[in-house]
A and B are shown apart, each in its own frame.
Chain A
Amino acid sequence: MLLKTKKLMKAFGGLKAINKVDFELPKNEIRGIIGPNGSGKSTFFNLVSGVYDADLGSYIEFDGHDITNEPPHKVGELGLARTFQLLRLYQDMSVINNVMSGYHTLVPYKFIDAVVGRKKIWDQEKVIKEEMMELLSFVGLADYAEMNASELSGGQRRLLVLARAIAGKPKLLMLDEPAAGLSPVNVDNLMKILMRLKEKYGLTLIIIEHILKVVMDTCSKVTVLDHGEKIAEGTPSQIKDDNAVIEAYLGKKMDDEEMRKALAV
């Protein structure tokens, strides 16, 4: 198992945002997480990536390491990358610097080399830059490398965030609504990139997404959260037919009788 949580819990005051979630994710899987707004999907990400501390009794294991309540940079160093729903791009940095700062943990030279400014590090920086340019052209942003990140369009920003997250060569990539606000064409493009990513880097992915097409087409398994609890888990087709999921998230078709009642109220 690459990622494992046991009895994961987090309460904000009286609200149990995540309640006893057991979650297991083997390597090389694309897992979707769906659920209504406020069901605890993003909280789950924040707990795993260390942005929030989990409540007592929780246990999170990543790649054989106990990462419960580890600070986010430690989790990042172990090879767990994530994106944010609100992107959190480095607005005032060039596109290439955005991606290169994602490479931070893999930089081969030491602090003292950088301070003294040895020639060695210039050569290594050049290699890193070339590698990152390759990554940028992979997501289709190579032409914008020297531009400020704030000058990119919404769709390009989403791709840049993706590129920054894979720059550090993670083992697990957690995407928080990667397709939110994208046009249908761009959604298709994103899905293609995601599939190619998985093949090229051998990534394991967790995707939170409200565009069901993305989840149904790319994910091999889907976990459904509602009110902080896991209510279903299975292949996309199983999930589609699960009654609890339909009730909580997908919504069901009303017959005429029910419609009339609903309208009367």
Chain B
Amino acid sequence: MEKFKEIIRQYPFLGFIIAFFILMAIPSIFFTDLYQSHLSSLIFINIIVAAGLNIVKGYCGQVTVGHVGLYAVGSYTAGCMFMYLGASLWITLPIAILVTGLFGVAFAIPSFRLEGPYLALATLGGGEAIRLFIENGEFFGSTYGISSISQPELFGITFDTPDKYYYISMPIMLIAIYFSFSVLRSSIGRAFMAVREDPISAAASGINVKKHKMLAFILSAMFAGAAGAVYAHLPPGYIHPNNYTVIEMVTFLAMVVFGGLGHIWGGIIGAVIITIVYDLTRPLYEYQLFIFGLTIVLTILFMPKGIGGFIDKYFIDRRFKKKQGVASK
């Protein structure tokens, strides 16, 4: 087991290839209807957003509530490129990532001067402004939304049903997680944490605080953009401004908080659980916001480091006991 861990650590790609094959096999073994594939795709999309949000909020400590706006930018870049140019996912995805990255810059600028709740308000305004701009713009299909966005083709197969689209969203999610891990486990991730913990002493260690805040916002915006584009092309390919409201933002936040702020797996665990709960509670639509709000409050009160922190604590305790056991022998 130790040796296996060491190999994974040396060749981080290997773990993702194993995960890829496992996830490839899952639909044919477990899934009984199309809806399960659809839900899995939604989970993957939410994982991408949550992994990005974990960079800026969990690691860099910048409270942003406007992430859903960036997600909308990604979706609508893809949607509009399809509507006006007929572009497929393979073209819209990289361009959506780039465009959303640029919007990330706009969200980063207030973070130079604002902190905590004030930054949250500023970014909330930014996110809502984007949604209202889309809702009132003829160019973006206004309140009709954009419909029948095409599904991508590869090797002569059109991925136009939920069970096929699973094989598009899953690898993109794995690549996103891979990028988030490699960034967060490097010196950049450490610098993000240092900025979160104490910007003044981070600067004294030679860490450029503004540059790293900017970097965190741009990176996480790119994740949101990628997720948005994948969501836009998700069959049946329909996007509407109402999919990008504060409610969605609260769910994204709930994912990161519940999974564990600043834990490398935090966003991912949270995204899986919250997406499933979100789906199960669909009949209780009026209470959903209440449920997620309550989840955030209770998690912060009783489990401030989320599930990730809980798991970490278990492993640390176990290692500690092992050490003690060795010492007593």
Question: Using Cβ atoms and an 8 Å threshold, which residues of chain B touch A154?
Answer: none
Contact B179 A122 (CB under 8 A): no
Main DSSP-derived SS at the B contact region: helix
B308 shortest CB reach to chain A, Å: 13
Q: Which chain B residues in 126-162 approach chain A with CB under 8 Å? A: none
B328 interfacial by beta-carbon distance below 8 Å: no
Stretch of A1-9, A86-94, A246-254 with 4 or more beta carbons under 8 angstroms from chain B: A86-94
- What is B's interface to A at a CB cutoff of 8 Å? 9-13, 178-179, 181-183, 185-188, 190-191, 193-194, 196-198, 200-209, 262, 316
Provided the pairs A101-B191, A117-B179, A121-B186 are in contact, do residues A91 and B206 lie with their beta carbons within 8 angstroms? no
Q: A125 at interface (Cβ–Cβ under 8 A)?
A: yes
Establish whether residues B205 and A81, one from each chain, have CB atoms under 8 Å apart when the complex forms: yes
A117 and B203 within 8 A (CB): no
Nearest B residue to A148 via CB reads B316
Inter-subunit contact B207/A73 (CB<8 Å): yes
Q: Tell me which residues across on chain B come within 8 A of A91, comparing CB atoms.
A: 197
Partner of B205, one of A119, A122, A164: A164
Q: List 27 A-B contacts (CB under 8 A).
A: A71-B208, A72-B200, A73-B203, A76-B203, A76-B204, A76-B206, A77-B206, A90-B201, A92-B197, A92-B262, A93-B190, A93-B193, A93-B194, A97-B193, A100-B187, A100-B190, A101-B187, A101-B202, A101-B205, A104-B187, A104-B207, A109-B186, A114-B187, A115-B182, A116-B182, A117-B182, A121-B182
Q: A146 in the interface, Cβ–Cβ < 8 Å?
A: yes
Task: Determine the chain B residues whose CB is within 8 A of the CB of A51 once the complex forms.
Answer: 200, 203-204
* A contact residues around B181 at 8 Å (CB): 117
CB atoms of A168 and B187 under 8 A apart: no
B66 to chain A minimum Cβ distance, whole angstroms, is: 24
Q: Counting chain A CB atoms within 10 Å of each CB, which of B181, B187, B188, B202 scores highest? A: B187
What's the Cα separation between A91 and B316 when bound, in Å? 17
Nearest CB in chain B to that of A107: its residue: B187
**From B13, B182, B193, B262, contact of A101 by CB (8 A):** B193
A105–B179 Cα gap in the complex (Å)? 22
Bound complex: CA of A154 vs CA of B164, how far in Å? 58
Residues on A with C-beta less than 8 A from B182 are 114-117, 121
- Count A-B contacts at CB 8 Å: 108
Q: A72-B204, A97-B193, A101-B194 are in contact. Are A122 and B187 (CB under 8 A)?
A: no
What residue of chain A has the Cβ atom nearest to residue B316's Cβ? A146
A228 in contact (CB, < 8 A): no
> In whole Å, how far is B238's beta carbon from the nearest beta carbon of chain A?
33
Tell me the nearest residue of chain A to B182, going by C-beta.
Answer: A117
Given known pairs A92-B262, A104-B190, the reply for A119 and B10 (CB within 8 Å) is yes
Which residues from chain B contact A114 at a C-beta distance below 8 Å? 182-183, 186-188
In the complex, what distance in Å separates the CA atom of A104 from the CA atom of B189? Answer: 11
Residues of A within 8 A of B (CB): 49-51, 71-73, 76-77, 81-82, 84, 88-93, 97, 100-105, 107, 109, 111, 114-117, 119, 121-122, 125, 146, 164-165, 167-168
The chain B residue with its CB closest to the CB of A103 is: B187
In the assembled complex, the Cα of A167 lies from the Cα of B187 at a distance in Å of 14
State in angstroms the CA–CA spacing of A121 and B182 once bound together: 10
A93 CA / B209 CA spacing, docked (Å)? 17
B188 touches A76 (CB 8 A): no
Q: Report B71 CB to chain A, min CB distance, Å.
A: 21
Q: Which residues of A contact B203 (CB under 8 A)?
A: 50-51, 71-73, 76
Tell me which residues across on chain B come within 8 A of A88, comparing CB atoms. 198, 200-201
Which residue of A is nearest B181, CB measured? A117
- B205: which A residues are within 8 A, CB to CB? 76, 81, 101-102, 104-105, 164-165, 167-168
What's the minimum C-beta distance from B179 to chain A, rounded to whole angstroms?
A: 6
Could you tell me the distance between the alpha carbons of A72 and B204 in the complex, rounded to whole angstroms?
6
Q: Is the CB of A122 within 8 A of B188?
A: no
Residues in B neighbouring A125, C-beta threshold 8 A: 185-187
Q: Which of A76, A92, A122 contacts B9 (CB under 8 A)?
A: A122
In angstroms, Cα B13 to Cα A119, docked, is: 9
Is the Cβ of B179 less than 8 Å from the Cβ of A115? yes
- Distance in angstroms from B282 CB to nearest chain A CB is 36
A164 CB to closest chain B CB (Å) equals 7
Contacts of A119 in B (CB 8 A): 10-11
B302 CB, nearest partner CB in chain A, Å: 18
Q: Which residues of chain A are within 8 angstroms of B198 by Cβ–Cβ distance? A: 88-90
Contacts beyond the supplied A121-B182, A168-B205: 4 A-B pairs with Cβ under 8 Å: A76-B205, A90-B197, A92-B196, A104-B194
Q: Is the CB of B183 within 8 A of A101?
A: no
